[in-house]
Structure 1
Amino acid sequence: MTLAADAQARLDAPVAVAPSLYESALQLLRLAHVLPAALIVPIEDQTPPGLLTARAANVNAFRGERNGRLRIVNRAPVPLEGAPDSEFVVFRGGEGLRDQVAIVIGQPNIREPVTVRLHSACLTGDLFGSLKCDCGDQLRRAARHMAENGGGVLLYLDQEGRGNGLANKIHAYSLQSRGFDTFDADEILGFEEDGRTFGFAGEMLKLLGVTQIRVMTNNPTKLSALEAAGLVLVSDHRIVGRKNNHNIRYLATKRDRAGHLLD
């Protein structure tokens, strides 16, 4: 069987409801950024020596518990091209064990609605200008807009590959090169449609004193997550990147399958 045929067979396989223990195991693997495949072995009387254990309830509560321990650990001015009056604020204690960053651009008035963007890290697009997505364009256009329109807060979130990590993202790209769309590729690898959460981003904003927001996004999930975190959503605004022959299917898939607000 070819790789493409094997991937299609996985996609077409009937899906059963996973027992709660399996869901907890997958959640643990997501947090560890490893491929979602686990060996489930029943242990009868006591844990064998040298085996690390984690209770399912603790695994499932981990993300929420970490959000409550989010704190600012450092901040410093970092002038950016097109936004020289910028400050990087580093947070620790939230999503997973990774640092997260807020870039405060200009001098936003936190007593009024603040322009905000939640941007998930994309090494290929943000740094190398990949044509497969519009991430780099969105990042730079948001920063430029904030610099030219009274400032804002850009949250740069360590959630590469919709939360699946860089290695799995590149694995998904390999499947996409064989004809699968971005969501089918993730499903073949065993992931859900989007493994990211955004509740901790709301906590980051509140620690900066922001309570009312104008959000630059095409993703309605981000809007509902920020409202659920207790922020007042005053307005939301589209932010689009350049379309090309390499990303047009990706953009259409986000619109049609994930409800992104794209024309």
Structure 2
Amino acid sequence: MFDSQLPDKTLPSVIGEEEASFLELKAGQLRETNPDKARSTLVAAALGYLCHGHRDDAYTIQIQIGWILIDQQQFRAAQAHFDAVERAVDGDKLVASKRGLARAAVGFGKFDEALEQYSSALALCRAGRFTDYEYMITREMANAILDNPRNQGSPEEALRSQNRARQLFKEALSFSMDPEYVNLEYQAQVRCGLVQLERNAGNELTAQSHAFAAFRCALETERRTMADEVYNYLLETNVLSEAQCNAFRMDLLELHTNTAHIHRQGVDCE
């Protein structure tokens, strides 16, 4: 989308620098409700940044556009965006572009290519100490291993893939619990993945432990939709007793009650 070979001088633009920043913020608000409008708004913002010489901001936006396209399952278009960024950047943006290329490859069903991109991204993460990306990529890599049809060809292959994925999920969990980078929402997601993997491995008590911790993390985010999603997922796993499910339900109702006034004031507690 954006040519990496750009003149160094600042170019005139009808979009001011502040307006570009405003458009980027507006696009973030539109992403869930109107992704097409969000994409066009991001394009305008990126052009504004480019015309004022802010290439890094423009490439960051191009990565955002790529992820909107991933959400819309437009993997070819997303791949083009991430390819363009990959050729022009380094550091954390290079990691982000490789992560996007891996996700696009998963969308195409090219799991070997996806794992290569994830492995490359992880190596860059560890070299650059980009811990916030590291646990995301580790978890996504585990999911790619589980989703690869080739790993389901026999009980032995399925077991090997589940063990490998379980190890990666544990790594992702340790990253998400790092005191410097603690992320309760992500920790809840990783623990939810471990619930089923540990149960499949016959570790029922460990699975229950992850279930309790996942729900506790979701509650601590004080985001109702997050807590609802974790609760509903845990119900489907059948790892909890009826009494435990009822206790979780009471905690969930308490969260809804405690955040109701925030929701009425228009603050994002969802």
> Normalising by the residue count of structure 2, what TM-score does the alignment of the two structures yield?
0.31
> Normalising by the residue count of structure 1, what TM-score does the alignment of the two structures yield?
0.32
Which has the higher Rg, Structure 1 or Structure 2?
2
Structure number with the higher helix fraction is: 2
Structure number with the higher strand fraction is: 1
